[in-house]
Amino acid sequence: MVNRVRQEALPVLCAALLLLQSGCVKQFDDAPAGNMPPKTYLWIFPDSTISTGISKQQLRWWGEDEDGYVTGYLMAFAPGLLRLPDPDTLTYGFTTVTDSIIQFPLRQTSAVFLVAVRAIDNSFGAQLPRGAVVKFSPQSYWDVNSNGSFDAGDVALPQLRSAVDSKGALQQFPIRNSPPSIAPVRDPANPTQYMLPPETTFTVISFAWEGSDPDGGETIASYRIALNDTVGAGNWLTLPPTATTITLMVPRARSDGSSATVTADVYSSSYPTLRLLGQAPGLRLDATNRFFVQARDVAGDFSPILAQPSLKSWFVKKPKSRLLVISDYQKDDSLEVRAFYRARFREFAGGRLANYDELDIRTGSPVGKPGVLVPPLSLLNPMFVYTLKLYDFVFWYTDQYPSLSVAQFTLF
């Protein structure tokens, strides 16, 4: 009986051994596996079109690599695309960060931009600086001179195609332009005061403002200014976006021969490096005036018009004499002192300077402080300096509390 069991079990055991032997044998390929490209992800996974935003957006992304690690990213954005073009003609920028504030180059009221981010893994052996311009057409290369063509000085990147995410993370962003705004600016030398003109001036007047834009200050393309009348394109003078402090100036040769309205020269910078920007028509002599300024952005949208002074006008006095007398005197006998100098100048030079122009720089001020007819400290040069230059002679008298802050800006 025992022998019979052994005889029956023997074929089963042999069959099991044969199955075990055949199941354990496996052939391995000695060739190494190829590199697996990384995958890239954006921080949003919308199930439909995302809402419209402004042209400055903060983007976040990351990459994953199954057989290595991510060493950097290529980023590109272009208007009007749904997917990567084939061949890929986009211009990419290299970065190692995973977030950035992007300024979409919006040049119209609205547009839809495709953002493409593509991770690069460690199989890419080349070293690229942050911001390097990379292109894939006609071959993968670092466009060193950023001219869009593969030429002398550029660096071929043959390993890039196998090391980069071929699909990338893509997302469309609908962007709408936001109009700029404009506002008065405070005087850096006296932050309690706005940089506005005095209530009365001669024919040299400085203005300052600051523009801003939700899409970024760099999107402001220009400013334009006008005097008294904003109707009609001919009344506006366009200024560069860097011109946020300007000076209107009427030379004596022009104002002496006019009794009503003159054209003012418009300058930027200060003494002695003024730069002529153009001319603004419509400055009224011996009358009230208003100044208007407006910002324009790269998409063509304008800000609301800013008027200076905001709620009233300022008075422009026409220079009439070759002599300017500056009254820096604030004592009880100021009227007597003023009459004294008026009488003395009648006796001087045959009376030719008797009807001199006068500027009281202490009107409405506490002792030792500039008066309301003095420009803000940061505008003394050029405004006050070139006001003095309207005259052949300047006579300045003072009490024991001279306006040194005004004098040091203009005389030294």
Question: What is the extent of the structural domain holding 358?
Answer: 323-410
Does residue 298 sit in the same domain as residue 340? no
Does residue 201 sit in the same domain as residue 273? yes
Does residue 196 sit in the same domain as residue 309? yes
Is residue 273 included in any domain, yes or no? yes
Domains contained in the chain, number? 3
Rounded-to-integer distance, Cα 251 and Cα 6, Å = 129
- Of the residues 264, 290, 316, the one at which a domain ends: 316
Does residue 69 sit in the same domain as residue 147? yes
Task: Report cis status (omega within 30 of 0) of the bond before 197.
Answer: no
The residue with tokens 């090391």 is 163
Is residue 274 included in any domain, yes or no? yes
Going residue by residue through the chain, which has 412 residues, state the pLDDT in tens, using 9 for 90 and above.
444 444 444 444 333 434 344 444 455 455 566 789 999 999 886 655 677 887 888 899 999 999 999 999 999 999 889 889 999 999 999 999 999 988 887 778 888 999 999 999 999 989 999 999 999 999 999 999 999 999 999 999 999 999 999 999 999 999 888 899 999 999 898 888 889 999 999 999 999 999 999 888 888 999 999 999 999 889 999 999 999 999 999 999 999 998 899 999 999 999 889 999 999 999 999 999 999 999 999 989 999 999 998 778 899 999 999 999 999 998 889 899 999 999 999 998 888 888 999 999 988 877 667 888 999 888 999 999 999 999 999 999 999 888 888 887 776 5
What pLDDT score was predicted for residue 363? 86
What pLDDT score was predicted for residue 348? 84
- Of the residues 296, 316, 336, the one at which a domain ends: 316
Is residue 24 included in any domain, yes or no? no
What pLDDT score was predicted for residue 220? 94
The residue with tokens 């990567």 is 84
Is residue 13 included in any domain, yes or no? no
Does residue 211 sit in the same domain as residue 139? no
What residues contact 14, with CB distance under 8 A and at least 6 apart? none
